[in-house]
Amino acid sequence: MLAAATSTLGGPYPSIGDSMTRVARLYGTGPTAAATVYGKSHVRLRQPDGHLLAYADDRIEFREGTVQAQGFYDLTDRSAGKTWFIPTIGTTGSFRGKLGRITYRPARPGGDEAVVITMCPGGMLR
């Protein structure tokens, strides 16, 4: 997906200032979606090593409650198929007050990602 995209300014994606929005479904082992992800991401800056940093802001809605995921991630590493994560906080339902992270692992090059959400009660992550 990233290799075929262009920015709204006509340059190659990703570039500083590019942004995207998405709606995605997370599936477990069954055919029914376990959660819906409403997200946006914005390419913010280039590190001295040339890697691009993007900021993600995702709301993940389960039947049991909602998790908010926000933070910077290395877009260059993600595009290269490396595992990446961003911090999470539970905002409603059974997730409220819990902290954790959402980890993305490439399932296949240029395709889907395997997603793991780990949540713990506040104060356990030290």
Which sequence spans correspond to the domains of the chain? Answer: 2-121
Supply angle C-alpha 94, 100, 104, rounded to 5: 110
Which residues are within 8 A (CB) of 66 and not within 5 positions of it... i.e. 6 or more apart?
A: 59, 60, 90, 91, 92, 93, 95
Q: Could you tell me the pLDDT band of residue 86, with boundaries at 50, 70 and 90?
A: very high
Looking at CATH, the fold of the domain delimited by 2-121 is given as AOC barrel-like (2.40.480)
What is the helix (H) or strand (E) element at residue 84, kind and residue range? strand 84-90
pLDDT of 5 reads 38
pLDDT tens-digit series, residues 30-66: 888 889 999 999 998 999 999 999 999 999 999 999 9
Q: Could you tell me the pLDDT band of residue 28, with boundaries at 50, 70 and 90?
A: confident
- If one compares 57 and 109, the residue with the highest pLDDT of the two is 57
